[in-house]
Structure 1
Amino acid sequence: MPKVSKLVRLTLAAAIAASGAIATTTITATSAHAAAATSTVGGQITRSEVLQRAQYWLGKSIGYNQGGSYPDSSGRNYRTDCSGYVSMAWHLSYSPDTRAIWDAETYEIPRSDLRPGDVLDSYNDHVILFEKWDDAAHTKFSYYSFGSTPVSHVQGMSIDASRIDGHANGDYHARRYKKIVDDVQTRPSKVGVYHPANQTYYEGDNAGSTLGSAMFGNPGWKPIVGDWNKDGVDSIGAYDPDTATFYESNDNTNVSGSVKFGNPGWTLLAGDWNGDGVDSVGAYDPATGTFYLSNDNSTVAVKTTFGNPGWIPIVGDWNKDGVDSIGAYDPSTGTFYESNDNVNVSGSVKFGNSGWLPIVGDWNNDGVTSIGAFDPNTATFYLSNDNSTVATSFVYGTPGDIPITGRW
């Protein structure tokens, strides 16, 4: 059983004494996020999931036809017109018309309070799905519509335009679906360090200061970070590579669960592989470049080979779909490779210098994981928001520390 000690507030200062070299394989901490939970038909649904569902019909050659239907991502059919499209986005059990959306499914709100997943409904004619305000003054907005073939995504529409999507502005009323719920507010990813000499985790603020620290695990164990209980906050864990046993903590103090996964010598991963808002484990076999991902911390849901043997695994939500997927870092060239489907390369970029260690996180809280690097010789972090330029850099920890990332 790992030894633990209570999280305490302190300044880093001289608390970390230099010791040893960084382990040859870096444990990658997932950039956990408050992903849209999967709704049930006719049940509560988050705003982010509404927009994800709306995007499913976008770009498809679906003909506008009030007598036709088309399936959502799970195969449930909805009518192929404006109100059927909104019904699909809201995951309703049926396809009401614009009048029923008004009368049965929504209530009126001020236009100034429109939020993602709300609608502008013209009782007798048309309904559009509000995406977001395009400016702070709430004078322009973006929306999704199925008023004609194909489904459209319109940006920069004036809220005061005489006509919106072909219909008189004055006929529209701002309405809110009765079962829509706000998403859990997420935090930007921050870096930290793990000091292997005394098994201490230090959580940083991306500016060189410490937010908190905790001891967890035993000598020789590897650090890992994730949102184990769906509270939107990452906490710590540890992996015993000799026994392939993972220990997690929900309070950075006590062991809340443990599980054996993978084989001794493999690298443990954590990610939200199915978009349920909870991080679960995965494992990477460095000898073969094979990933094993689990949704229940027990059985293997995905087995896939990506990259080459000896590369370093990374995990992130590269395309803002609410699901973590894999990637790999080639230390010989300093190149990151990302995959959106756990099979194919969706993007690659060189970042950092030889001998640096890869890190990933949603540094600007835009819902997309981006890259960074850690220079172990100087304990300097370099973070990028666009996978190209350095957005910020700072020294944190001491040489010999292992970098970690999470939403503290």
Structure 2
Amino acid sequence: MSRTARSTVLRCTSALISAGLAATALSAAAVAPAQAASSKGGKITRSEVIARAQYWVDQGVPYNQSGYHTDGAGTNYREDCSGYVSMAWHATQSYNTWTLPSTSTEVSKSSLLPGDALNHTEAHVILFGGWKDRAAGTFTYYAEQNSNVLTNKYTANINSSSVAGWPTSLYKGLRYDNIIDDPTQSTPSTYSGDLPVSGRWTVGAASTVGVFRDGTWALRAANGATTAVNFGQAGDLPMTGDFDGVGHDQLGIFRPSTSTFTVRHDDGSVTSLAFGQAGDIPVSGMWDNNGHAQMAVYRPSTGTCIVRHDDGSVATAALGQAGDIPIVGDWDGAGHAQMGVFRPGVNAGEENVIALRHDDGSVTTAAYGIKGDLPVVGDWSSKGRTAYGVYRPGSATFALSNLYAGTADTIFTYGNGGTWS
């Protein structure tokens, strides 16, 4: 690998996947529908209700009482507040605020759970997303609000005088008669499907994304075009980085069975390096701030990041807890890689937490996405700082935060998605 710093442009994006993730077949052109484990009018888990609600958010469905939009699984529902809740519940029809109580049971506001609803019979209904802080009364909800805004997710307080523009006292809690709690899992979930990757595929361009499955990469350009590359095999974990210091990222894989990093250079040649141990996760990045990326691993068993410097020495830093997924980026625009972790939501509708570690040792956190998402990071808006995003397997959807650009998130479908089991 090059030891010469031929570019000062930062390259520290990478594909960071938890140790239990495994990939199967890829078709970059296909788009998966909303999660569809239930049948229309049948039993449905709370997590599926939330995934279906998120699908319309990702699709940017407008409010239109005369319009209908697909749930992604073959059924169309009315594009208004009650049609939206009906869609999330996978109901047999698009109910209205007067008829929703006929297919649900009233519950107290304090006992609301993800996938329940708050219904004001004469005006409006919203889907309860989950408590952010039950003691404080803060919660998230999904709603088709009005013709001026697209379907979206919001935060409110149950103790406030109003919610979504109507007096809180007029809402009644509703629990869909066919909703069921998600089964309790005694072991960590296993993911099978496309693994999200990110990188700067072209010199001077913003970071963008792609997917990896069984040794096949599909890299998405800014204009939506796809470049396919065959590199790696089933069981490999993908990584990206400017290992050659040429101003754009190269592809690499980490093979857990041999604890070996292998990088594919621009001329098609490869370089391999043994580093790490079974169970480690690759977290390559520009740790040395010398113009090219170095190898590193995150060890979930100890919550430790271990960086291999160019001279062969190693440095370690601890961050995170059991179940966290490591992420790496230049959060501060400092010119080198910094650690972070992605803490997946545990319960249906629960938001993921992103914790970013800065050079002074401080840690900042942000909530982004919901349970079931996978993390992805990159400089989406070419601001010289790494932002975060998620890949939503149930709908094969990327949602990329443009927080540094001050613009709306970028949301699009790509790949085949995947499933948790």
TM-score (normalised: structure 2):
0.50
Contact 1:362 1:369 (C-alpha < 8 Å) held by counterparts: yes
Of 255, 271, 279, the match for 1:240: 255
Residue in 2 that maps onto 1:201: 217
Relative to structure 1, the CA distance from residue 382 to residue 218 in structure 2 (aligned partners, 3 Å threshold; closer, same or farther) is same
Matched residue of 1:365: which SS?
A: coil
Residue in 2 that maps onto 1:254: 269
Establish whether residue 191 from structure 1 lines up as the match of residue 209 from structure 2: yes
Alignment-mate amino acid for residue 213 of structure 2? H
Give the count of matched residue pairs.
231
Task: Name the stretch that deviates more: 336-345 or 364-373.
Answer: 336-345
Residue in 2 that maps onto 1:381: 398
Of 221, 229, 232, the match for 1:214: 229
Residue in 2 that maps onto 1:360: 377
Residue in 1 that maps onto 2:307: 293
Relative to structure 1, the CA distance from residue 398 to residue 187 in structure 2 (aligned partners, 3 Å threshold; closer, same or farther) is same
Residue in 1 that maps onto 2:416: 398
Alignment-mate amino acid for residue 336 of structure 1? I
Matched residue of 1:283: which SS?
A: strand
Residue in 1 that maps onto 2:137: none
Contact 2:394 2:419 (C-alpha < 8 Å) held by counterparts: no
Cα distance in 1 between the residues matched to 2:413 and 2:293? 29
Contact 2:28 2:416 (C-alpha < 8 Å) held by counterparts: no
Structure whose alpha-carbon radius of gyration is higher: 1
Establish whether residue 304 from structure 1 lines up as the match of residue 320 from structure 2: no
Residue in 1 that maps onto 2:290: 276
Matched residue of 1:351: which SS?
A: strand
Of 238, 243, 246, the match for 1:228: 243
Cα distance in 2 between the residues matched to 1:272 and 1:252? 21
Contact 1:269 1:281 (C-alpha < 8 Å) held by counterparts: yes
Of 317, 326, 332, the match for 1:313: 326
Cα distance in 2 between the residues matched to 1:251 and 1:361? 21
Alignment-mate amino acid for residue 305 of structure 2? F
Contact 1:28 1:313 (C-alpha < 8 Å) held by counterparts: no
Task: Name the stretch that deviates more: 313-322 or 291-300.
Answer: 291-300
Q: Deviations over 1:44-79 (max 9, x none)?
A: xxxxxxxxxxxxxxxxxxxxxxxxxxxxxxxxxxxx
Residue in 2 that maps onto 1:340: 358
TM-score (normalised: structure 1):
0.52
Q: Deviations over 1:363-403 (max 9, x none)?
A: 0101010011110111100011117974210001112399x
Contact 2:193 2:419 (C-alpha < 8 Å) held by counterparts: no
Residue in 2 that maps onto 1:322: 335
Contact 2:256 2:280 (C-alpha < 8 Å) held by counterparts: yes
CA positional deviation for 1:336: 0.5
Cα distance in 2 between the residues matched to 1:376 and 1:297? 39
Residue in 1 that maps onto 2:67: none
Query: 4+ residue runs of structure 1 moved beyond 4 angstroms?
Result: 23-29, 31-34, 387-390
Cα distance in 2 between the residues matched to 1:303 and 1:228? 20
Relative to structure 1, the CA distance from residue 330 to residue 322 in structure 2 (aligned partners, 3 Å threshold; closer, same or farther) is same
Alignment-mate amino acid for residue 327 of structure 1? G
Identity of aligned residues (%): 33
Cα distance in 1 between the residues matched to 2:207 and 2:342? 19
Contact 1:195 1:401 (C-alpha < 8 Å) held by counterparts: no
Q: Deviations over 1:306-349 (max 9, x none)?
A: 0112200000001111111110011134011111228431x210
Cα distance in 2 between the residues matched to 1:305 and 1:229? 28
Contact 1:33 1:277 (C-alpha < 8 Å) held by counterparts: no
Contact 2:197 2:212 (C-alpha < 8 Å) held by counterparts: no
CA positional deviation for 1:186: 3.1
Cα distance in 1 between the residues matched to 2:278 and 2:400? 32
Contact 2:327 2:339 (C-alpha < 8 Å) held by counterparts: yes
Q: Deviations over 1:74-104 (max 9, x none)?
A: xxxxxxxxxxxxxxxxxxxxxxxxxxxxxxx
Point out where structure 1 has 5 or more consecutive residues left out of the alignment. Answer: 1-10, 35-184, 403-408
Cα distance in 2 between the residues matched to 1:26 and 1:192? 8
Contact 1:315 1:324 (C-alpha < 8 Å) held by counterparts: yes
Cα distance in 2 between the residues matched to 1:343 and 1:22? 32
Relative to structure 1, the CA distance from residue 215 to residue 235 in structure 2 (aligned partners, 3 Å threshold; closer, same or farther) is same
Cα distance in 2 between the residues matched to 1:195 and 1:26? 6
Cα distance in 2 between the residues matched to 1:344 and 1:24? 35
Cα distance in 1 between the residues matched to 2:311 and 2:261? 10
Cα distance in 2 between the residues matched to 1:369 and 1:220? 28
Residue in 2 that maps onto 1:351: 368
Alignment-mate amino acid for residue 328 of structure 1? V
Matched residue of 2:278: which SS?
A: coil
Cα distance in 1 between the residues matched to 2:193 and 2:417? 14
Contact 2:213 2:234 (C-alpha < 8 Å) held by counterparts: no
